[in-house]
Structure 1
Amino acid sequence: MNPRFRLPPFLPARGVAAGRHFFPSGSALAGLLALAVCLAVGLGSYRLLAVWQLDQLAHTNAQRLGAYAVSLENALARHETLPFVLSQDHRLHELLDHPADPARVDTVNRYLELVQGRAGVTAAYLIDAAGLTLAASNWATPQSFLGQHYTFRPYFREAMEGRPGRFYGVGATTGDPGYFISAPVQEAGTIRGVVVVKVSLSAFEAAWRESGDALNLADAHGVLFLASLPDWRYRSLAPLGAAVEAELRETRQYGPYPLLPVKASEALSFDSPARPITLWDNAGGRRDALMQTLPVGPLGWRLVLFSDLAGAYGLAAARATALGFATAFLLALGFFAWQRHSRLQERRAARAELARAHAELEAKVAERTALLTATNVRLEEQLDAQAEAERILRATQDRALQAGRLAALGQMAAGITHELNQPLAALNTLSDNAVAFLQRGKPEGAVENLRLISQLAGRMGRIVGELKAFARRGQDELVPVSVREALDHALFIVELRRRELDAAITLAVPDPAPRVLADPVRLEQVLVNLLRNGLDALADLPAEGEGEGAAPRTPRRLAVTVARVPAYRDVAEEGAPGQAPASLVRIAIADQGPGIPAEVLPRLFEPFFTTKPAGEGLGLGLSISLTIAESFGGTLAARNRPEGGAEFILELPAA
């Protein structure tokens, strides 16, 4: 067993503390002694079993680390000779002799591109003695190495010293990490350039992640540059010294990453091949782990494995608890015979008491069942009455909605008659002209008159169609409705009233126009009611150009603004208490009128409440509009604006 393993405090098993009830009242001291024996056995066995479990886990992990190390070293050695082979190619020597020759650059680029594809490496490139990249396999990509200088990389300096170079780092050009292998290009004992091959090790991270092991690869400074968990990548096992940080900045080995140290109970190092530690993640979560390392590769790298100790400690605790219970069971056997007689007597008394309680319970159940049956009958009758009342209410509401639309149509009848009379008069004139043209043998004039007749007939059809659509009953199903289209239809309905008042209606609708979940007909009815109310509020204002002398004139203007606004919906019914973000569409209609009196504002949406003179309104428009808005899952409210006038705000769920 390894004496260096530190163990967490032992938690005694539940149920042992209740052992005092196991002993007769006259044997309290014996019970306490038995409890102490059980606790001693459990605690001692837990410590021994926990150390044994850690030894077993360390042995198993050592075998797995060995397998991972062999796989990684084979991958690193696979391309070890490729840069040397490339350095012997005559095409690279010719390019170093004539670096400005485009033809030779293209030849070497394509050759290196072919080598990259065949060898399965990330990149291959040629650097001259000054550190300038002359050719690269990725010459045709936006992140090409061509023209880049890499004198700051250790693999370049090592190759220029006449020995193979090896280096792992984040790409200075592409930002992609990789393992760089370099070899000098020599001719007659002179080093003329460097050939570099870049190999990606990301496949190892993916394989480690699929294995489920918390496996990492650290460099000689203790920086984790490969990790099965992405949050561990580019973290250091211990704080880095100033000299190491300066070296990493000079070589740009890990790019912009800050290399923060791992949050652990102690500074981690490679001194011990296996030891238990405590780790904290970024969210503050704590876990106990067994840290094991194994050297790998030619650059002083270490495979670092963090194994969760919860299972090992839990298994040791379970076995220690089982031993404690077994000890308690053996002690209990000595008292079993003495207790058996008293237990039997207690059971007989309990059976008698249970029989009496059962009889009382049956009587109460029968009584409560009769009461519940009668209550259920009354409840069913009340539910039937309530359903009938709701049906009547819905029918009444539907009739009220239809009546509101028909009332609006009745008010517009005179104006619509004028709208239709003009096209009808024009139709008579144009038809007579067409007959006259045909009699005179001028078919082209008749064709023009017939075209105008078709346009006028289409205009009359659109007027009648808008009125028929506004007058028909709405549908029960809510569908996505364009706010812009609904406003256009409503503005068409109130156009006559706007002309009568010589008022201006401005629209501010985002592009594209938002859509809401609603019934299009009933939404148009709400908008018509709100627009007519706004126009009615402007009726007492002087129109543009009215007024005496130099008195200021108040314009008759109605502003309609549409915007998306954030909202929240309750998600407690989904099993996660709280609120989730949603989206509403707000339609605000603001007038320049005198505003809403303070005593009227609280009663504004009451049915049959109106401030208009008798005969000009039933007081149902706003009440009906509020009912429709709430049936869509929205709201309707009114307020007085600080700058004057009233504003009605309609908010509906966005589609």
Structure 2
Amino acid sequence: MGRAVKVVSPLQRWLLLGASFAILATLIVALGSPLAQRAYLDEAETRAQTTLRLAVAALRGHLRRYEALPSVVADYPIIQAMVIDADNQALSDRGNAYLKRINALLNSSDIYVMLPNGETIAASNFDGDVSFVGENFSYRPYFTEAVEGRQGRFFALGTTSLKRGYYFSAPIRIGAVVRGVVVFKVDVDMIEATWAGGDSEIIVTDPEEIVFMTSRPEWLYSALEPLTPDRIERTQISRRYADADLFDLPIRRARSVEEHQLIAIGGSRASQEFLMLGEPMDEAGWTVRVLLDTTSARTQALTLIAAALMVLGLATLAAAFILQRSARLEERTRLQSAAREQLEQRVAERTADLAAVNRQLETEVSERRATEQQLRQTQTDLVQAGKLAALGQMSAALSHEFNQPLAAVRNYADNAAVLIERGRVVEASDNIARISKLTERMASISKHLRNFARMPNRQLRAVPLEQVVADTMEVIAWRLKAADAEIHIDLGPVPPIVRAGPVRLQQVLVNIISNAADAVEGLDDRRIDLTARSSGSRVLITVRDRGPGVPEGIVGRVFDPFFSTKGVGKGLGLGLSISYNIVKDFGGNLSVERHQEGGAVFTIALDAAELTLNEAAE
């Protein structure tokens, strides 16, 4: 006997599908959400750890730069003579001048000398609006430690200057006796300024957990732990923060999630959650912490859960579609069975109709096959069109890059033919030599067309700009002559050396000067200026014309491929795009702006370089 088959009704199928969706969605939210948050918090912690290491390294490097300097200054003869004879005004004047000069040289905040009673007798700011001379800082721990013969370190807000700084002190020994103290005050504002604008907040706290360095100014002098009377008293004894107002940072809650320490800062209605990492700096008595906003991590986790729910929803919809189609197929099968019974009874009467239906079905099948074949052909045509477009772009680039040297070759060849006819063989030989040099450059251009795919920086070297400009003038001379343009070259008293590729840099200058010649052709003022100047570690090369300039509406598009303001047939719109990519490969920048007196100014910014012995020999 066969087993009975249990038939599942359509309603039961829909209920089963709905229940499955609800269960899977609940599992995704209940289990997937914590896993996703943990994963993104791990990723955020990795970024925060990197930021923390960099911040600690920067602080340590900045402090170590000044750590040994107080002892060096304490051994200087003028300083030792000054503490022995503190009433000698001539020695005091020399000591003040020496400290001011050393302070400017070392770029420290202040340097001053104190007697064992704490009185300041000389300072680098002796002639400033706020001078330390005559002040007594005996209450500072760095002074106490130095008087006892040890090197002192202390961070505080200056009671006189009201500026934050880190203090290094060293005793001034005359024989075995401590006769004074040298103090270096180091400014930390420059380090703190580098923290602003990042995706994380950086704070540095003292042993009392009071924030004295932060990327958020409103957190300055706040406390991570409640300000108890004992903690306030210890701070006031050393006058670490002078008269600054201390307050508790509004940390509403702190918790740990899978070894991640999370804190919320703000009021009860509006607070911001941060992932907090910390590292102690024992040598300074500090703790450096990085606070990374968790909003991004939680948003990414929610986005991932939403995406998973969307995928589940799409899968459920697909299953519903399959169920609906299956139900329709069952209904169609049932209807076909009924129709078949009727057809068997009326087969004779409906023979003609069935034949017509069969022909119609055959026609629909043929049309569908033809449609599918046409679709495949269309897809093939699109692929071929894409290949032809890529080939066309490459051909256009090759045509544009070879156009300038070929024009120069033709010009030199025509001149050589005329010179040979006139018997001026030496001059004709010089033209032929230049043609040979240009063909070598064309070969180099062909070799360097990989520029469009970002050539590696290891091919860059120190290039004398004077030689590149000279080679450029040989290539572009015919175009300047055709436009009747006059170019003025000013490379400064010492022509700079840049880090680039000589052939590709020449391509850039040829393209820009050619555009300048096009811009001034036919105008009354056809001057073109080419200048180069060093600016710090960069070299700025500018090309200015007196043409109509670049309209403000298209300044942002002039470096786009195939964009040109010239007429039809007068340009492919590739020169500036190629030049822009070449300069970017050099690690530089190419920009354009309108000159206030008219015309366009193109600026090439490249890294300055120095010739090595091998490069100079080349």
TM-score, length of structure 1 as denominator length = 0.46
From the CA coordinates, give the structure whose radius of gyration is larger.
1
